[in-house]
């Protein structure tokens, strides 16, 4: 189609089109393509959040079952792959999804900021002199750029806490995740961090789950109402499910009392797991 004209005294493009990269990278050059990537990685991360939460429910069965679950993850793909091979693939894929999700979110935010500033007499974000009256945008949609980074910070904290055992010190027992969770969450400040992060994640998911349908163009009057319902459902499940861990540990309903295997006796855990 025709090349566009330019208006000598009118608006000139804010974003000059850069060199077109070859397919499929050119899709990621456009904002809409980037939203697709954000939505697709969002779906992947949602899958991870839900599977991770369900896996952690093993904690309600006891130390042996949680240990067994962790072992199952390491041995995933059994006879086909070497031990921990598939787990590492999943971890790398997950890290890649996080990176893409964050890069697309950050770069699109920058584009929107550039498209809004200088239009503004106040400086910073687009503002009107009268108090901005949001009509449709809800709390969740306006805080995506806060809840996202909160989840990221929490993620790093969580890895250092329970994967690497940075500050549990001698209390961190490799191979006894049940004990590690109890030891970590027994500290009230840590429990509060988990609660805050879970609330932030659920708010993020509440807008994200609805938004991803729009981004991917999944829109049909036959089921459009269900998209909101699904967003509420998933956000609700993630909220209640993940809140249950810090709350129940704080309430001393999950603790190290009455264990069949002594804390740190990984050999006993293995032996008990064999019996299943």
Partner 1 sequence: MTQELNLTLQVWRQEGASDPGHFETYAANGISEDMSFLEMLDIINEDLIENDQIPIEFDHDCREGICGTCSLMINGQAHGQEKATTTCQLHMRKFNDGDTIVVEPFRARAFPVVKDLVVDRSSFDRIIESGGYISVNTGAASDANLTPVPKEAADTSFDAAACIGCGACVAACPNSAAQLFTSAKLAHLNLIPQGQSQRFERTETMVDTMETFFGSCTNHGECHEACPKEISLDFIAFMNRDYVKAKMKNRKLAGQS
Given the rule CB under 8 A, which residues bind partner 1? 1-2, 4-7, 9-11, 13-17, 23-24, 26-27, 30-36, 108-109, 111-121, 125-126, 128-137, 141-142, 144, 207, 210-211, 213-219, 221, 224
Residue closer to partner 1, measured from CB, 163 or 224 = 224
Rounded CA-CA distance 74/174 in Å is 13
* Cβ pair 55, 62 in contact under 8 A: no
Residue facing ligand HEM at closest CB distance: 148
Chain centre distance of CA 256: 29
CB of 104 to partner 1, least distance (A): 9
Start-to-end Cα distance in the chain: 68
The listed partner (partner 1, ligand HEM, none) that binds 166, CB under 5 to 8 Å by sort, is: none
Exposure string (b/e) for 90-100, b if CB count within 10 Å is 16 or more? eeeebeebbeb
- Please list every residue from 207 through 236 that binds ligand HEM, using CB under 6 A: 208-209, 211-212, 215
**Residues 169, 62: contact at Cβ < 8 Å?**
no
97 neighbors 41 (Cβ within 8 angstroms): yes
- Residue closer to ligand HEM by CB (options 62, 208) is 208
What is the DSSP secondary structure assignment for residue 126, as one 8-state letter? -
**Residue 123 binds: one of partner 1, ligand HEM, none (C-beta under 5 to 8 A by kind):** none
Q: Is 46 in the site for ligand HEM (CB under 6 A)?
A: yes
Note whether 205 binds ligand HEM by CB under 6 A: yes
Burial label for 85, CB within 10 Å (0-12, 13-18, 19+), is: middle
Provide the binding-site residues for ligand HEM, judged by CB under 6 A.
35, 38-39, 42, 45-46, 49, 101-102, 105, 108, 144-145, 148-149, 151-152, 204-205, 208-209, 211-212, 215
């Amino acid at each position: 189609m025709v090349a566009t004209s330019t208006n000598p005294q009118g608006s000139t493009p804010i974003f000059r089109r850069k060199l077109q990269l070859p397919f499929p990278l050119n899709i990621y050059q456009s904002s809409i393509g980037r939203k697709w990537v954000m939505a697709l990685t969002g779906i992947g991360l949602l899958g991870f959040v839900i599977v991770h939460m369900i896996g952690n429910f093993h904690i309600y069965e006891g130390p042996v079952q949680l240990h067994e679950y962790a072992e199952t993850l390491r041995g995933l793909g059994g006879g086909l792959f070497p031990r921990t091979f598939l787990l590492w693939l999943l971890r790398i894929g997950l890290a890649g999804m996080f990176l893409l999700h964050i890069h697309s979110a950050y770069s699109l935010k920058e584009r929107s900021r550039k498209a809004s500033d200088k239009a503004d007499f106040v400086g910073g974000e687009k503002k009107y002199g009268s108090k901005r009256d949001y009509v449709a945008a809800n709390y969740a949609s306006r805080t995506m750029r806060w809840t996202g980074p909160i989840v990221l910070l929490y993620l790093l904290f969580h890895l250092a806490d329970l994967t690497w055992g940075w500050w549990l010190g001698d209390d961190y027992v490799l191979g006894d995740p049940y004990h590690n969770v109890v030891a970590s969450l027994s500290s009230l400040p840590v429990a509060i961090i988990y609660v805050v992060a879970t609330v932030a994640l659920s708010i993020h998911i509440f807008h994200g789950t609805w938004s991803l349908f729009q981004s991917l163009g999944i829109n049909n009057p036959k089921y459009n109402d269900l998209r909101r319902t699904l967003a509420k459902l998933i956000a609700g499940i993630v909220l209640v499910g993940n809140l249950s861990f810090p709350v129940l540990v704080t309430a001393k309903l999950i603790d190290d009392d009455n264990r069949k295997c002594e804390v740190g006796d990984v050999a006993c855990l293995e032996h008990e797991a064999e019996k299943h």
